Amino acid sequence: MAELETTLTELCKKDLNMCTYEEIYTALLHLVEAESAKRVVPVSGRKLYYISAEFLIGKLLSNNLINLGLYDQVKSCLEAHGKSMAELEEIEPEPSLGNGGLGRLAACFLDSVATLNLPGDGIGLRYHCGLFHQNFTSLLQDETPDYWLGSHDWAEKTDTSYTVSLAGKDYTARLYRIAVTGYEGRTNYLNLFDLDSVDSSCIEEGISFDKSDIARNLTLFLYPDDSDDAGRLLRIYQQYLMVSAGAQMILEECTQRGSNLHDLYDYAAVQINDTHPSMVIPELIRLLCAKGIAFEEAVEIVTKVCAYTNHTILAEALEKWPRHYLNKVVPQLMPVIEKLDALVRSKTADKSTAIIDDNDLVHMAHMDIHFTHSTNGVAALHTEILKGSELNHFYRLYPEKFNNKTNGITFRRWLLKCNPELTAFIESLIGPGFKKDASDLEKLAAFTEDENVLRRLAAIKQDNKKALAHWLKSTQNITVNPDSLFAIQSKRLHEYKRQQLNLLYLIHQYFEIKAGHLPGTPLTAVFGAKAAPAYTIAKDIIHALLVLSAVIADDPEVSKWLQIVFIENYNVTAAEKMIPACDLSEQISLASKEASGTGNMKFMLNGALTLGTMDGANVEIAEAVGQENIYIFGESSAQVIRRYRHGDYCAREWYDIDSNIRRAVNFLTGSEMLARGSRDHLGRLQNELIQKDWFQTLPDFNAYLVRKSQALADYALNPLDWTRRALVNISKAGFFSSDRTIAEYNNDIWHLGI
């Protein structure tokens, strides 16, 4: 500690008492940089390249200090000089490099790869504004740029660059690198590419900008609006910049390490995170051919090196690009893609697996499955659905390629960093082994009947709820009651995730409370979610929740029992406050639609009980904890898939038959809502629910109601038993560590060197 103090004082060039948080922050940034550099290990054998459009890494300072084993020392040192870690953390902007589960998964994976001392880097883009900043104005979402790059930026600018040809013109992709140090592990890198010419001054109103000016706008935003041709073309420009620069970097590194490229497989494993980086396949083939390797061999090499992860069964999220888009942006790739398509057509008569279909659409996922050696789903149920229905034609062609890798989360961020009080308590009970070997959490099972342990666990949850209440007050000026049950639904806003089901429940409760039918306990329903800017109904759902929140807040009869909090600009930093404070985790997607979910795992690990459908990884959570320790409801994935097949779902029938449903849906355009909200938005949502309801909200409404009321009653009647079940959940969370997931990827797919 004395040594650390000396180092910091030297870095700050003055006594720590006299330093601003900015100065201390900068000093620590340098300290972390130096310590991380010491853990760079030369690579021998095969190295992983994880290519992804998103890396939702969250703030880095505290996490890096934890992984370097410096956190406690730094914290005490600061406290000795009257400074707090919490205030220091405020200085750091959250990197805006992702949107949801797919990006956060990539970040958890990088942490686990480095922690397991495996050689593995990320490859992505350095978005200047990343995903938009969400603001609520007049109870509606609007979007502004999130300028996160600045003086506290962790990405190191390098002198390395690659030439990338876009629409026949050459651009220079510069490499930036963020060090990723594992927990007591090695340092790897997140490699992010950018153009020097990108210029945020071309952003106009909100997040709009001239989409045609590629040199200036290419890496401004993640997922630019793709509702027009220019927007869709821009996405291809972005994707190609990422994969072309990435592919060149991979080949250069491997050559430098001694590869003659024929043996590329001995040097590299490339993991394609969903279809966004799929063009890396034809790009690698093109580059290998340019270096004199024959096409057939190049295809073989690339197929052996690359593997693909699927994250969705929603048809609209599987990318299909019109051939003329690719002809325009990446004419150099089209001959390769056409040859790959011809190869497929020569192998099988089944046209449904073609790369280029009869409408001249290029199916990226099809290219991935044919020309990689592994296709994996992200939870057991998801993989079964891919094999049995969604990708069944491919499964029959290549049964050996399909495999499951149930997602996981890094416990360093989602327990050690976000819930230090629970971490310390667990350590006092079972020792520190769980930090690196998550299966150690099973040892907590010995304490489920120990009342002292349960009381302490309940007190920790209460502290975390108070901390969330305090944070909500100071950042969003929202007052909540920490003695109510906190039920949290935080995830991307999407109809299949069914925030609208939660909305209908809350309306139902409003009526029940007004009628004197009081719930078991006061309820605080917390939401965190961003809607894609062009996703109209998703924005309508946000509006409805914000309006309902105001209706309830203005009604003293109801507000004693019910409150809705919609957190503005939900991100990793907000999640770290919300997750430790949660009592009931809302995982209510339509069965079969959520590939895995990872929020479900974070809440469980932090001692929340799950209220969920048998979807994604919820199925595996239910198996792990047992039916008595989870609230499962709703139709099964088999029932849902059958209904889609028959095509006979009629929302209107459910609305007509059920008076509770009718009352809740009608309320959307009742006088209370219209007094505060917009008829356009609320009416459109109401129509959607009655006329379409594509994600079958209404058939699950009653089951949800019953199960949620049961949860509220149990919580109120027997709090100690609730806490006991929370402890069972924590003790069974070990399987959901991303260390386990990465070990499986490595054993089955990557076979990395050390």
Catalytic residue numbers, as ranges: 311, 491-492, 497, 598, 602
DSSP percent split of the chain into helix, strand, coil, nearest 5: 55, 15, 30
Query: Which range touches ligand 26Q (CB under 6 A), out of 241-249, 257-265, 312-320, 451-459?
Result: 312-320
Contacts 24+ apart (CB under 8 A), 224-233: 225/533, 225/534, 226/534, 227/534, 229/325, 232/321, 232/325, 233/325, 233/328, 233/329
CA nearest to 113, candidates 176, 48, 56: 48
For residue 535, the minimal CB distance to ligand 26Q (Å) is 10
Query: Nearer to ligand 26Q by C-beta: 315 or 515?
Result: 315
Per CB under 6 A, the segment of 35-43, 101-109, 324-332, 540-548 that binds ligand 26Q is: 101-109
Q: How far is the CB of 654 from ligand 26Q (least distance, A)?
A: 26
Contact with ligand 26Q (CB under 6 A) among 92, 594, 635, 693: 594
Segment contacting ligand 26Q by CB under 6 A, of 157-165, 391-399, 571-579, 591-599:
591-599
Cα–Cα dist 458/718, whole Å: 12
Among 49, 50, 148, 223, binds ligand 26Q (CB under 6 A): 223
Cα 607 versus chain centre, distance: 20
In the complex, the smallest distance separating the C-beta of residue 103 from ligand 26Q, rounded to whole angstroms, is 7
Nearer to ligand 26Q, 25 or 221 (CB): 221
Q: CA 676, CA 678: separation in Å to the nearest integer?
A: 7
Q: Write the interaction track for ligand 26Q spanning residues 597-616; mark x where CB under 6 A is met and - where it is not.
A: xx-----------------x
Stretch that binds ligand 26Q, among 35-43, 387-395, 499-507, 592-600 (CB under 6 A): 592-600
The CA distance from 340 to 22, in Å, is 54
Please choose, out of 79-87, 98-106, 212-220, 260-268, the segment that lies near ligand 26Q by the rule CB under 6 A: 98-106
Token pair of 326 as six digits = 């690719």
Residue 411 CB, nearest approach to ligand 26Q (Å)? 17
**Cα(501)–Cα(499) distance, rounded to whole angstroms?**
5
- Find the shortest distance in angstroms from Cβ 740 to ligand 26Q: 15
**CB nearer to ligand 26Q: pick between 521 and 592:** 592
Cα angle vertex 20, ends 18, 23, to 5°? 105
Between 64 and 600, CB nearer to ligand 26Q: 600
* Residue 650: other Cβ atoms inside 10 A: 11
Please report, for residues 145, 148, 376, the alpha-carbon distance to residue 141 in angstroms, rounded to integers and kept in the order given.
13, 20, 35
CA distance 510 to 558: 7
| Cβ nearer to ligand 26Q, comparing 52 with 423 | 52
E strand segments, 588-639 = 609-612, 631-632
Q: Please pick, from the candidates 92, 319, 368, 586, the single residue that binds ligand 26Q as defined by CB under 6 A.
A: 319
Contact stretch for ligand 26Q (CB under 6 A) within 100-108, 192-200, 569-577, 740-748? 100-108
- Pick the closer one to ligand 26Q by CB: 244 or 407: 407
Applying CB under 6 A, among 181, 303, 587, 596 the residue interacting with ligand 26Q is 596
Report d(CA 264, CA 284) in Å as an integer: 11
Q: CA end-to-end span of the chain, whole Å?
A: 33
**Pick 596 or 729: Cβ nearer ligand 26Q:** 596
Are the CB atoms for 417 and 576 separated by under 8 Å? yes
Burial class (CB in 10 A: 0-12, 13-18, 19+), 358: exposed
Query: Of 105, 198, 326, 468, which lies in the binding site for ligand 26Q, with binding defined by CB under 6 A?
Result: 105
The reply to whether 744 sits near ligand 26Q by the rule CB under 6 A is no
Closer residue to ligand 26Q in complex, CB, 546/632: 632
Q: Which is nearer to ligand 26Q, 407 or 464 (CB)?
A: 407
If one asks whether residue 317 binds ligand 26Q (CB under 6 A), the answer comes out as yes
CB-CB contact of 616 with 597 (8 Å): yes
For the bound state, the minimum distance from the C-beta of residue 443 to ligand 26Q, rounded and expressed in Å, comes to 28
User: Cβ 225 to ligand 26Q, closest distance in Å?
Assistant: 10
Among 478, 595, 611, 624, binds ligand 26Q (CB under 6 A): 595
CA 453 to mean position of chain CA atoms = 33
Minimum separation from the CB atom of position 379 to ligand 26Q (A): 7
Q: Choose the stretch contacting ligand 26Q; rule: CB under 6 A; options: 5-13, 93-101, 578-586, 702-710.
A: 93-101
Contact pick of 58, 95, 101, 612 for ligand 26Q (by CB under 6 A): 101
H or E element: which one contains 7?
helix 2-12
Cβ neighbours around 132 below 10 Å, total: 24
φ, ψ dihedrals at 553, nearest 5°: -60, -30
Q: Answer positive or negative: Cα dihedral of 548, 551, 554, 558.
A: negative
Interface residue with ligand 26Q, options 126, 311, 413, 602 (CB under 6 A)? 311
CB of 612 to ligand 26Q, least distance (A): 12
Cβ 145 to ligand 26Q shortest distance, Å: 19
Q: Is 214 helix (H, G, I), strand (E, B) or coil?
A: helix
Segment contacting ligand 26Q (CB under 6 A): 120-128, 350-358, 595-603, 644-652? Answer: 595-603
Nearer to ligand 26Q, 130 or 616 (CB): 616
Is 226 a residue that touches ligand 26Q (CB under 6 A)? Answer: yes
Residue choice 12, 16, 64, 100 for contact with ligand 26Q (CB under 6 A): 100
Give kind and range of the element (H or E) at residue 639.
helix 637-646
CA distance 576 to 571: 9
Is residue 142 within 8 A of residue 126, CB to CB? The reply is: no
Of 65-73, 452-460, 545-553, 590-598, the window that binds ligand 26Q (rule: CB under 6 A) is 590-598
Classify 127 as helix, strand or coil.
coil
Amino acid, single-letter form, for residue 455: R
Closest residue to ligand 26Q: CB criterion: 101
Q: 152 with 243: CB under 8 angstroms?
A: no
Comparing CB distances to ligand 26Q, the nearer of 99 and 484 is: 99
Using CB under 6 A as the binding rule, the residues of this chain from 380 to 419 that contact ligand 26Q are: 407
**Which listed residue (378, 531, 547, 609) binds ligand 26Q by CB under 6 A?**
378
Q: How many CB atoms lie within 10 A of CB 375?
A: 24
Provide the angle, in degrees to the nearest 10, between the axes of the packed helices 701-717 and 499-514.
Answer: 60
Total chain residues near ligand 26Q (CB under 6 A) = 19
**CB–CB of 272/372 below 8 Å?**
yes
Find the shortest distance in angstroms from Cβ 658 to ligand 26Q: 29
217 versus 598: smaller Cβ distance to ligand 26Q: 598
Tokens 């959901």 appear where? Answer: 736
CA Rg value for the chain: 26
The SS3 of residue 482 is: coil
Q: Give least dist CB 593 to ligand 26Q, A.
A: 9
Question: Of 495 and 594, which CB lies nearer to ligand 26Q in the complex structure?
Answer: 594
What residues line the site for ligand 26Q (CB under 6 A)? Answer: 99-102, 105, 223, 226, 311-312, 317, 319, 378, 407, 594-598, 616
